[in-house]
Amino acid sequence: MGFPPHWINLIMDCLSTSRLTFLLNGTPSCSVVPSRGLRQGCPLSPYLFILCAEALSGLIRKEESAVRGLGIQCCRNSPLISHLFFADDSILFCKASPENGVRIRNLLGLYEKGSGQKVNLHKSNISFSPNVSREFRENIQSELRVDDSKTRDKYLGFPALVGRNKRATFNTIKDRVWRKVRGWKGDLFSFGGKEILIKAVAQAIPTYTMSLFQLPACLCKELSAMMSKFWWGSRKGKRKISWLKWQDLCLPKSNGGLGFKDLSLFNQALIAKQAWRILVNPSSLAARILKAKYFQTEDFLQVSTKSGCSHLWRSLIWGRSLLLKGLRWKVGDGRSISAFKDPWLPRPSTFKPITPDPNINLQVADLLDNEFPGWNISALNHHFWPIDREIILSIPVSYLGGPDSISWHFDKSGSYTVKSGYRLALSEKLNSSVSNTTITRKWWTSIWNQNVPPKVKVFVWRACLNAIPSGFNLWKRRILDQPFCSLCRSSVDVPGHSLFWCKEAKRVWGCSRFDSFFYGLQDLSVIDVLSHLFSRVSKDDFASICIISWAIWDNRNLSLSGGKSRDPEGVVGIGVAIRNDKGKVLASLSKALRGNFNLVTCSALALREGLLLAKTFNLKIMIAEVESHLVASSLFSSTFSGREANAIFKDINFLSSEVGICLGQTVSRSGNLLAFNFASLASSSCRDSLWLDFSSAM
């Protein structure tokens, strides 16, 4: 291959002096000298493998030039293909004959001796065309000692054969997506987490296949339905309400969507990339084979599909239809561009002049000045309207001229990108549908740019689109019998009422500094209210408004589902009842505290107040009953690290030694209803109360 002997000796020294040592239970054991030159994990192996593959390619080409029959042509005038290599995968092509089987076996044997590699016959197979006789098949198989591939296999992840039943060919994609989605526990993820999973995993699975083949429309719909079901959630096999159409979620975030991929449009944008490669690199092997097969005497941009063509070619023509919507000529010498037929003006969507002219054979070269580099003004004035002349004069002309070239208009580099192609396809779909013109791109962009958690962004987005389960929305879907608010029962429960005008929501906003901003906005929708506030407050204040709105909705759902809602002023109540051995109440206490504490902290605070009350009146406590099991079990513990209420536990252990407490046990809320009622009284009245000998006063 032309490498100097000194370089070859250095490489051979690296290979021959290597030694592998195995670790058994962390201890080095016996050493092994590898007998083969290429080893997985060795930094030199990838480069050496490329050299060995080049040597094998040279052997095949030498045999191909010496003997006819090694290599095939897909059609007349097509390039001869004898082998295709990709990494450690190889495909060899030849005419089906026992002689060619012997030649291939000898070639591989020579390669094994020279490279030190070994062909894995168990991972190899052979495929025959339908016209090969059974006798020839058996003879060739016996020579090569490999199995016949009778099923539709894959190569590099792509289906090797695509028949009429496209659904069966590509159905494995659906199975892969379904296995992924089924394994995710949707209830454990917020909408922000689901968005990441769908974009990064579910929609990425079919991308590789979509880059070459057009997927059936029904398959794209089924994949989208799976993702939609996961996004909106399901419980016990039943789907939850889909508040918006999937096609609305596929809109860009700047247009009120979530930026999910429209699989069909994305499929077309990916295949358009392959069409672009054929257009700009006609000397590639794929372009030469396709040209010989489908457009020998035609232009790739104008050829159409014919009966009997492959699914691959139909897919490329489908992708080319998107490519044509953004292609235009870049002016060089102007000899290849028709001034009125070809797209060459930087003005979408036709890129052609709108001036009618009978001289349809006029070339752009006729519009250039022959003496000075630039445009011929008199020719432009004669042939074009002013609206076209202005655009033509804005096109720069090179001093050196050169051939005209094709350019992609929607990318600054002039080269086609999948991103720009998908944007073009999506924008055409948006223009053909009825869109909400009152919502600006700036507004939606501001929502997603807020410095708030993803779940808050998604909630605000849903609220703006009236896609939250308010009472009125549930009533419209015949889930509730009436549309009124379940908390205040005085107004129709539209999303704006739930977040801003309900009495519980007003309590929250009254505790904030934004209460005065809501005057005069009672009849507006959520999006109108938030857009009004966005124009009046700072970015940080608007982020706070978004978080408060989410917290109001979260607290509202907690209250309606039977849980304990959080007080907007941050007030919690604790209750204490001290009884004697006969059950008579000797002393009781209710106390209001500032802060949103969890159950463990509230139980610890109540126990501490009870011990302080007992110490004040010299009462001996034998048994302490609390609602939290953690507090009861940790009553006499000496370690408190990691607990939020560790400071309170220190006080409890100190006080318990003075009042004589000897046992802590857990009691349910219904078992200590008196203390619970005292706690409720404190949280509602925000006052502290003390009763002595309470039972005798009843």
Q: By three-state DSSP, how is residue 304 classified?
A: coil
Confidence at 434, pLDDT banded by 50, 70, 90: very low
Give CA–CA dist 112/55, Å, rounded: 11
Give the model confidence (pLDDT) of 328-371 as tens digits.
999 999 999 999 999 999 998 899 999 987 777 899 999 998 87
Instruction: Give the residue-averaged pLDDT of 198-226.
Output: 94
- Report the alpha-carbon distance of residue 365 to residue 403 in Å, rounded: 11
Residues 370 and 317 in one domain: no
* Amino acid at the residue 569: E
The mean pLDDT value for 556-582 works out to 70
Q: Are residues 202 and 129 in the same domain?
A: no
The predicted model gives 527-533 an average pLDDT of 91
Same domain, 4 and 117: yes
**Dist. CA 17–CA 33, nearest whole Å:** 8
Could you tell me if residue 158 is inside a domain? no
Confidence of residue 410 (pLDDT cuts 50, 70, 90): very high
Q: Residue holding tokens 């930087």? A: 346
Q: Are strands 125-126 and 147-148 parallel, antiparallel or unpaired?
A: parallel
Domain boundary among 503, 538, 560: 560
pLDDT of residue 618: 75
Q: Is residue 140 part of a domain?
A: yes
Q: Is 248 among the domain residues?
A: yes
Q: In whole angstroms, what is the distance from residue 648 CA to residue 659 CA?
A: 16
> Mean pLDDT across the stretch 129-155?
81
Left (φ > 0), alpha (ψ -120 to 50) or beta: where does 162 sit?
beta
586 lies in the same domain as 681: yes
Which has more confidence, 581 or 511?
511
pLDDT at 143 exceeding the cut of 80: yes
Nearest Cα to 367, choosing from 330, 322, 412, 397? 397
Closest CA to 593 of 578, 579, 604, 580: 604
String of b and e for 489-506 (b: at least 16 CB within 10 Å)? eebebbbbbbbbbbebbb
Residue 646, domain member (yes or no)? yes
Average pLDDT on 283-307 reads: 91
Query: Residue 467: pLDDT band by 50, 70, 90 thresholds?
Result: very high
Task: Inform me whether the pLDDT recorded for 39 exceeds 80.
Answer: no
Residue 271: per-residue pLDDT: 97
Q: Is residue 34 part of a domain?
A: yes
In angstroms, rounded to a whole number, what is the distance separating the alpha carbons of residues 45 and 120? 18
More confident residue, 555 or 592: 555
pLDDT confidence of residue 568: 53
| Model pLDDT, residue 682 | 66
Q: What is the pLDDT of residue 150?
A: 61
Residue 401 Cα to chain centre, angstroms: 46
In degrees, to the nearest 5, what angle opens at C-alpha 68 toward C-alphas 64 and 70? 50
Closest by Cα among 598, 675, 606, 673 to 643: 598
Q: Is the pLDDT of residue 270 over 60?
A: yes
Indicate if 50 and 120 belong to the same structural domain. Answer: yes
Query: Looking at the DSSP assignment, which residues form a beta bridge with residue 687?
Result: none
Q: Which of 150, 179, 208 is the last residue of a domain?
A: 150
pLDDT for 495 equals: 92
Q: Are residues 302 and 222 in the same domain?
A: no
pLDDT, tens digit (0-9, with 9 covering 90-100), for 186-210: 778 888 889 999 999 999 999 999 9
3-class SS of residue 78: coil
Contact 683, 571 (CB under 8 A): yes
Q: Is residue 209 part of a domain?
A: yes
Question: 698 versus 213: which is more confidently predicted?
Answer: 213
Which DSSP string do the residues of 443-493 spell out, in sequence order? HHHHHHTSSS-HHHHHHHHHHHTT-S--HHHHHHTTSSS--B-TTT-SSB-
Confidence at residue 661, expressed as pLDDT on a 0 to 100 scale = 67
- Distance in angstroms between the alpha carbons of the first and the last residue of the chain: 107
Mean pLDDT along residues 390-406: 90
Does residue 274 fall inside a structural domain? yes
Between CA 309 and CA 269 the distance in angstroms is 21
Phi, psi of 689 (to 5 degrees): -140, 150
Q: Which CATH number does the domain housing residue 610 bear?
A: 3.30.420.10
Neighbours of 676 (CB within 10 A): 17
pLDDT for 9 beyond 90: no
Which residues, including other chains, have CB under 8 Å from residue 292's CB and lie 6 or more apart? 74, 75, 76, 77, 78, 79
**What's the distance, CA 315 to chain centroid?**
25
Q: Are residues 331 and 319 in the same domain?
A: no
Nearest to 448 by CA among 201, 244, 252, 246: 252
Q: What is the mean pLDDT of residues 99-106?
A: 88
Examine the domain organization and report whether 515 and 462 are in the same domain: yes
CB 313 within 8 A of CB 300: no
**What is the reported pLDDT for 697?**
37
Which of 84-88, 532-536, 679-683, 694-698 bottoms out in mean pLDDT, i.e. has the lowest? 694-698
Six token digits for residue 597: 């504490």
The answer to whether residue 641 scores a pLDDT higher than 50 is no
Task: Give CA–CA dist 471/493, Å, rounded.
Answer: 5
Distance CA 144, CA 136 (A): 12
Q: Which residue has the tokens 């904030």?
A: 512
Cβ contact 649:604 at 8 Å: yes
Q: Distance (Å, rounded) from C-alpha 498 to C-alpha 266?
A: 38
Q: CA of 283: how far to CAs of 39, 84, 173, 290, 411, in Å?
A: 36, 17, 33, 11, 24
Least confident interval from 35-49, 222-236, 401-415: 35-49
pLDDT at 666 over 80: no
Owning domain of residue 598: 571-697
Check whether residue 227 and residue 277 sit in a common domain: no
The stretch 313-334 carries a mean pLDDT of: 94
The domain boundary, picked from 261, 285, 314, lies at 261
Weakest-pLDDT range from 256-270, 345-359, 405-419, 653-667: 653-667
Average pLDDT over residues 202-224: 94
If one counts the domains in the chain, the total is 6
Same domain? 545 vs 637: no
Q: Are residues 227 and 291 in the same domain?
A: no
Average pLDDT value for residue range 56-62: 90
Average pLDDT, the chain: 84
- In single-letter form, the type of residue at position 364 comes to V
Q: What CA–CA distance (Å, rounded) separates 268 from 316?
A: 9
Asked if pLDDT for residue 698 goes beyond 50, the answer is no
Assess whether pLDDT exceeds 50 at residue 694: no
Residues 6+ apart with CB under 8 A from 497: 470, 485, 491, 505
User: Binning pLDDT at 50, 70 and 90, where does residue 595 land?
Assistant: low
Q: Is residue 155 pLDDT above 90, yes or no?
A: no
Residues 399 and 387 placed together within one structural domain of the fold: yes
3-state secondary structure labels for all residues of 163-191? CCCHHHHHHHHHHHHHHHHHHCCHHHCCH
In a domain, 656, yes or no: yes
Residue scoring higher pLDDT (13 or 495): 495
Percent of the chain with pLDDT strictly greater than 70: 89
